[in-house]
Chains A and B, each alone.
Chain A
């Protein structure tokens, strides 16, 4: 037996690399954990709210640099000590004046801060100190510390009388954008005023110039008086937390940038910040002048504001102290004149109406000269308003009513000039007035221009009706003169200023009557009416409520007692009038009412007052010729009823019956009830219905008529439309000769007649939840519905009438099977789960039928109308597998 060869291995197996690698990794991990081992420090906080040991992080500039390892209550039990395990790299930052504070989510009107902590939990923020001395024991702050003086940005100080509602972290706003915040504040050493340290963010430092003004924008600044009130408010946050706004006046925007530590005054409010140049104005009286409100205005520009009023020593005058906007510095000159502007209201003149609302103001006229800041007010305005450029014309009129200096001259209700003066003519017969037409509009005035007074609200009332006319609101108040220039190609010449005088008519109406060129031309027709009591000359002719013409005159018919009304249809509307047009009276107000609604019919305001005639064109016809004669109907209804037929319908009860309810066929109104009255025997109600002529043939001897009113029941709401539209009378037409008297059914007919589709009858023992309208499904598609149910003649069965919709009637064959698909079929099993079968949601509530047709020859011939089927309780096995190929068309 040979000895097996023994090979001695020399050296170290390479497998030993593995533990060596493991050792290296282990060693490295140990080294790393030593290197990264935290520095344990202790921070005292008043409360450890929101802090979780092992979770809460210590964050420096957003980077976690440590973790809270433990919380201990201090021996005094009035504070807690947090044991923080800080990263080794943070060692340098752990110096004496390093600050710690807890960041919690804060969502409030002014600030959303620490939002990240909502999810991640509170954390402890660190602000590195500047000291070099290492420290392991700290005291936490209750809130974030002020920005350190060395931080980027601008650190400036504000001095104020008092702090107001400013607090630490109140924001500094510029144009409502926060640009910095209040860092600290302290009472000045002498006890007078406070100094507020503010920090402006680095990116906004350019906003701060040496001349920048700061004002307290906390709260709402409300200033009021007779001359109005003023509310000034910065952001809502500033309202709650207080805030400081800043702005550099435009004219000082080039002032040098502010440096760190600069001290600015903090003004109390916006107005004070605009503190300008001081001047005084001596006034005869302070009437109407309110300190801090009365303004110095020139041409709408606010040059200053009265800050104070003092009583002069001589007790004769008062002195107004005015702050002038530095931009308006140029008015402080020797020659400048000031005066007080007050409202002036007189019979024919309203001046400075604006001061009524705005209050008294001080106006000035700048002058030249050397600088001066003491002025004496003039007692009255020095000059009147200058007249704008334009041409002056003369108007003649019988009286000066509605004339006033300054009253407008209107062209198409647009002010193109004004009255500058008027006077009685030398002969005492006429008033001539001078009007100024502004340069721009001079070309509108021509030799043939017609002027009339448009002042005020003009109501001309008389036998011939009432005419109401008003111009613009201004003319309503101050009066005015309107004019128009008829287009006349022959006379284009514009007259020079003042060399042509125009007559002023007392109204537009009289201008039209007297100036033929203004009278419109149109189509002249005649309307025959029984009397003309509602109308007057000038009454409007309306078409779709638009005035298209007017009555021009009346005449009696040669023989007979009719009145012929002459009507002028305006030219541009003449095409609307056809030979078939029907005219009717729209005078006054027509009210027709009942429970089914109140109908108030009026045409225009004018037609109410002055009467009016409207027309409509039922069928297009030939255009009407001039002189055409029409008949006037008493009302539109009467006009429409000329082609209607009267049908009387007798009802056993009268519930819901009233005048005006509609007669509908297939949902379309074909007429309405005109009158409801009792029969002679007083046992029934007879309705007189006016039916459209073309629909009258629906009423035959066997026509069925019934009243449809809303029905609300568990299984559904029927005739929902009638809740809004009111009840109506429905009908099912019959065959036979037309009749004009019918007796209505008390209830809708049990069997609904359906003219279209296939009607079949199902026999069932019980009706189940089926009802009229219950659907019939074929493969869950609705192909028909139940039209009614009745007992069989022997009362052994229920006969269910079903109507198959026309497109589906070819699905039904003699051997088609029907079953009741109402309700829900619930099958439950341990393994199969729950199976709920229903044909449709509708079938659950309203019941439903299902149908299948066998395949091939088994289906039998086509179903015939009135064919009878048995209604099965449920589908038999196999029925649902039938797949007959049927065409529906």
Chain B
């Protein structure tokens, strides 16, 4: 345990309900029972957080490769199908001069998942090996990951929208290609990893 000069709830014998954020005593009869207010199970730390986060991050890491190397979108124009990976789309936009859109997709679809996975691994490793430096920065990093997680679905939204909008049977259709479920898997895994991870463990370590 490190002494950061702050008394933690745990040290004070208190636990926070994860659902309604009520502070309940972590000792005595009610110790780690259920929340008297909302009935949720009370834990001092999110249970099994490290394990789950690791599993999810590793899953995301594995899925990241098919998500990026397999084609994500199938554009069928007049009977001639054209498969494109995420990177193909980005290159297309840059070639067309739409740097803004290209940058947004590059950020949301490639950089952000990559960033999330790397950061989560970094944070998890730092807990694992009890690297106690830069704890505050790592926390900020985690907050960023949590925040940007919801934007990673941009690509999927674009494909879903195009699929519905561009559906002229026989002329042009756009459908999701094999990479789409892997991409969803990456985003979901990183998001769940961020949710299951308890940042307090950084300080506990």
Q: Chain A residues in contact with chain B, CB under 8 A?
A: 1-5, 9, 12-13, 15-19, 21-23, 25-26, 29, 55, 116, 119-121
- A1 and B66 contact, CB distance less than 8 A: no
List A contacts of B205 (CB < 8 A): none
Question: For residue A23, which residue of chain B has the nearest CB?
Answer: B62
- B185 and A22 contact, CB distance less than 8 A: yes
- A2 and B62 contact, CB distance less than 8 A: no
Q: Mark B41-68, 1 if CB is under 8 A from A, else 0.
A: 0001001100110011011101101100
List A contacts of B26 (CB < 8 A): 4
In the bound complex, how far is the Cα of B58 from the Cα of A23, in angstroms?
9
Question: For residue B26, which residue of chain A has the nearest CB?
Answer: A4
List A contacts of B52 (CB < 8 A): 13, 15
With A2-B28, A13-B51, A18-B56 as contacts: A121 and B80 at CB distance below 8 Å: yes
- A120 and B62 contact, CB distance less than 8 A: no
- A25 and B66 contact, CB distance less than 8 A: yes
Smallest beta-carbon distance B22→chain A, Å: 17
Q: B167 an interface residue at 8 Å Cβ cutoff? A: no
B46-95 CB contacts (< 8 Å) to partner A: 47-48, 51-52, 55-56, 58-60, 62-63, 65-66, 70, 78-80, 82
In the bound complex, how far is the Cα of B33 from the Cα of A4, in angstroms?
11
Q: Mark B155-189, 1 if CB is under 8 A from A, else 0.
A: 00000000000000000000000000010010001
Pick the 7 closest A-B CB pairs, nearest first.
A22-B62, A19-B58, A2-B27, A22-B59, A19-B59, A15-B55, A18-B59
In the bound complex, how far is the Cα of B62 from the Cα of A17, in angstroms?
13
Smallest beta-carbon distance A66→chain B, Å: 15
Smallest beta-carbon distance A105→chain B, Å: 13
Contact of A18 among B31, B55, B65, B78 (CB under 8 A): B55
List B contacts of A2 (CB < 8 A): 13, 27-28, 31
- A5 and B55 contact, CB distance less than 8 A: no
Smallest beta-carbon distance A116→chain B, Å: 8
In the bound complex, how far is the Cα of B196 from the Cα of A26, in angstroms?
24
Contact of A21 among B27, B48, B59, B82 (CB under 8 A): B59
Question: For residue A117, which residue of chain B has the nearest CB?
Answer: B80
- B58 and A5 contact, CB distance less than 8 A: no
In the bound complex, how far is the Cα of B44 from the Cα of A5, in angstroms?
10
List B contacts of A4 (CB < 8 A): 10, 13, 15, 26-27, 31-32, 44
- B63 and A26 contact, CB distance less than 8 A: yes
In the bound complex, how far is the Cα of B79 from the Cα of A116, in angstroms?
9
In the bound complex, how far is the Cα of B82 from the Cα of A46, in angstroms?
27
Contact of B65 among A1, A21, A26 (CB under 8 A): A26
- A120 and B78 contact, CB distance less than 8 A: yes
- A1 and B27 contact, CB distance less than 8 A: yes
- A29 and B66 contact, CB distance less than 8 A: yes
List B contacts of A23 (CB < 8 A): 62
Q: Residue among B27, B56, B62, B65 with the most chain A CB within 10 A?
A: B62
List A contacts of B79 (CB < 8 A): 116, 119-120
List B contacts of A29 (CB < 8 A): 66, 70
B11-30 CB contacts (< 8 Å) to partner A: 13, 15, 26-28
In the bound complex, how far is the Cα of B55 from the Cα of A22, in angstroms?
10
In the bound complex, how far is the Cα of B31 from the Cα of A3, in angstroms?
9
Smallest beta-carbon distance B9→chain A, Å: 11
With A1-B13, A4-B32, A22-B59 as contacts: A15 and B48 at CB distance below 8 Å: yes
With A1-B27, A2-B28, A4-B31 as contacts: A19 and B62 at CB distance below 8 Å: yes
Question: For residue A4, which residue of chain B has the nearest CB?
Answer: B26
In the bound complex, how far is the Cα of B146 from the Cα of A590, in angstroms?
107
List B contacts of A119 (CB < 8 A): 78-80
- A5 and B32 contact, CB distance less than 8 A: yes
- A26 and B62 contact, CB distance less than 8 A: yes
List A contacts of B28 (CB < 8 A): 2
Smallest beta-carbon distance B87→chain A, Å: 14
In the bound complex, how far is the Cα of B68 from the Cα of A29, in angstroms?
13
List B contacts of A17 (CB < 8 A): 55
Contact of B51 among A3, A15, A22 (CB under 8 A): A15
Smallest beta-carbon distance A863→chain B, Å: 60
List A contacts of B56 (CB < 8 A): 15, 18-19
